[in-house]
Amino acid sequence: MSVYMLVDVDVHNKEEYKKYMEIVKPMIEDYDGVFLIRDGEIDALETSLWRPTRIVLVRFPNKELASNWYNSEEYRPYKKLRLEKATSNILFIEGL
């Protein structure tokens, strides 16, 4: 079953985040992740619980690959960088 990684990120340093994405995008692709949304325009229709800022949506073939990427030694230093340069929510959601 596919797993979708939904990220809402508030970037504090756009240049550093751009560098982060240039490095991390191929890493995600190495785990068979496919970017479906990357910073598209948001038309927020109902926002009582959530005020999205910048959305990223990635589809992985399964939860194991998604978790393996997120918890990998390779990604660990970049996760730290992201936490320093942005505030984010990340969810793994099972789907079709």
**pLDDT for residue 85 is more than 90:** no
Q: What's the pLDDT tens digit per position in 21-40? A: 999 999 999 999 999 999 88
**pLDDT for residue 96 is more than 90:** no
Question: What is the model's pLDDT at position 86?
Answer: 92
The domain that contains 33 carries what CATH number? 3.30.70.100
Range of the domain at 9: 3-42+51-94
Interval 5-22 mean pLDDT: 92
Q: What's the pLDDT tens digit per position in 34-60? A: 999 998 888 888 988 888 999 999 999
Mean pLDDT of the chain: 94
The residues facing 16 across adjacent strands are none
How is residue 18 written in tokens? 């751009």
Q: Which residue has the higher pLDDT, 28 or 16?
A: 28
**pLDDT for residue 79 is more than 90:** yes
Nearest to 60 by CA among 38, 29, 19, 37: 29
Tally of structural domains, the chain: 1
Q: Which residues contact 92 (CB under 8 A, 6 or more apart)?
A: 3, 4, 5, 63, 66, 67, 70
